[in-house]
A and B are shown apart, each in its own frame.
Chain A
Amino acid sequence: MRVLVHIALRNLFQARRRTALLGSAIALVSASLILLLSIAHGIEDSLVTSATTLSAGHVNVGGFYKTTATDAAPLITDKAKLRQIVMDNVPGVEGIIERHRGWGKVLSPFGTIQSGLQGVDISTEKRFLERIQLAKESDYVEGGRDEVVGDPSKLAQPRTVMMFAANARKLGVRVGDEVTIQIELLGGATNTLDATLVAVARDVGMLSSFAVLLPTQDVLELYRIRPETTGALWVYLDDIDRAEAVRADLAKVFEAEGYRVMDHVAAPFFFKFDTVMGEDWTGQSIDLTTWEDEVSFLTWVLTAFNAVSWSLVTVLVGIIAVGIMNTLYTSVRERTREIGTMRAIGMTRWQVLGLVLLEAGLLGLGATALGTVAGAAIATGIDLLNLPVPILAVQAILLADTLHLKVVPSNLVAGVVALSTFTALAALWPAWQAASMRPVSAMSHIE
Chain B
Amino acid sequence: MAIVQLQGVVKEYPLGKLVVSALRGIDMTIERGEFTVIAGPSGSGKTTLLNLIGCVDVATRGTVLVDGQDTGRLSDADLTRLRLHKLGFIFQSFNLINVLDVHQNVEFPLLLSGTLTPGERDKRVRSLIDRVGLTEQLIQRPAELSGGQRQRVAIARALVTNPAIVLADEPTANLDSGTGASIIELMKELNRTEGTTFIFSTHDHAVMSHARRIVKIRDGAVESE
- Whether, in the assembled complex, B15 has its beta carbon less than 8 Å from a beta carbon of chain A, the answer is no
Binary interface encoding of chain A residues 319-355 relative to chain B, with 1 for a CB under 8 A from any of its CBs, else 0: 0000000000000000001100111111111010000
Q: Chain B: which residue is nearest A345 at the CB level?
A: B109
| Contact present for A347 and B54 (CB under 8 Å) | no
Q: Chain A: which residue is nearest B161 at the CB level?
A: A346
- Whether, in the assembled complex, A440 has its beta carbon less than 8 Å from a beta carbon of chain B, the answer is yes
- Whether, in the assembled complex, B61 has its beta carbon less than 8 Å from a beta carbon of chain A, the answer is no
Binary interface encoding of chain A residues 344-381 relative to chain B, with 1 for a CB under 8 A from any of its CBs, else 0: 11111101000000000000000000000000000000
Binary interface encoding of chain B residues 156-189 relative to chain A, with 1 for a CB under 8 A from any of its CBs, else 0: 0100010000000000000000000000000000
Binary interface encoding of chain A residues 400-429 relative to chain B, with 1 for a CB under 8 A from any of its CBs, else 0: 000000000000000000000000000000
Binary interface encoding of chain A residues 431-447 relative to chain B, with 1 for a CB under 8 A from any of its CBs, else 0: 00000001110010000
**Which stretch, A2-10, A144-152, A248-256, touches the partner chain B?**
A2-10
| Contact present for B100 and A345 (CB under 8 Å) | no
- Whether, in the assembled complex, A123 has its beta carbon less than 8 Å from a beta carbon of chain B, the answer is no
User: Chain A: interface secondary structure?
Assistant: helix
Assuming the contacts A346-B80, A346-B81, A346-B85, asked whether A341 and B111 have C-beta atoms less than 8 A apart, the reply is no
Q: Shortest beta-carbon distance, A335 to chain B, in Å?
A: 9
Give residues of chain B (54-102) contacting chain A, Cβ–Cβ below 8 Å: 54, 56-57, 76-77, 80-81, 83-85, 89, 91, 95, 97-100
| Contact present for A338 and B56 (CB under 8 Å) | no
| Contact present for B56 and A3 (CB under 8 Å) | no
State in angstroms the CA–CA spacing of A337 and B89 once bound together: 14
- Whether, in the assembled complex, B137 has its beta carbon less than 8 Å from a beta carbon of chain A, the answer is no
| Contact present for B76 and A349 (CB under 8 Å) | yes
Q: Which residues of A contact B113 (CB under 8 A)?
A: 346
- Whether, in the assembled complex, B19 has its beta carbon less than 8 Å from a beta carbon of chain A, the answer is no
| Contact present for A343 and B80 (CB under 8 Å) | yes
State in angstroms the CA–CA spacing of A337 and B92 once bound together: 13
State in angstroms the CA–CA spacing of A337 and B81 once bound together: 20
Q: Chain A: which residue is nearest B81 at the CB level?
A: A346
Q: Which residues of A contact B100 (CB under 8 A)?
A: 3, 6-7, 10
| Contact present for A346 and B56 (CB under 8 Å) | no
State in angstroms the CA–CA spacing of A10 and B141 once bound together: 12
Binary interface encoding of chain B residues 28-52 relative to chain A, with 1 for a CB under 8 A from any of its CBs, else 0: 0000000000000000000000010
- Whether, in the assembled complex, B104 has its beta carbon less than 8 Å from a beta carbon of chain A, the answer is yes
Which one, A2, A6, A348, A440, contacts B56 given CB within 8 A?
Answer: A440
- Whether, in the assembled complex, A182 has its beta carbon less than 8 Å from a beta carbon of chain B, the answer is no
- Whether, in the assembled complex, A275 has its beta carbon less than 8 Å from a beta carbon of chain B, the answer is no
State in angstroms the CA–CA spacing of A280 and B97 once bound together: 86
Binary interface encoding of chain A residues 5-19 relative to chain B, with 1 for a CB under 8 A from any of its CBs, else 0: 011001101100000
Assuming the contacts A440-B56, A443-B91, asked whether A344 and B83 have C-beta atoms less than 8 A apart, the reply is yes
Q: Beyond A344-B83, A345-B89, A438-B56: 13 further Cβ-contacts under 8 Å? A: A3-B111, A341-B91, A343-B80, A344-B56, A344-B95, A345-B112, A345-B157, A346-B80, A346-B81, A346-B112, A346-B113, A347-B80, A439-B57
The 9 A-B residue pairs with the shortest CB-CB distance, nearest first, are A346-B84, A10-B99, A341-B95, A440-B57, A439-B56, A3-B111, A440-B56, A346-B112, A346-B83
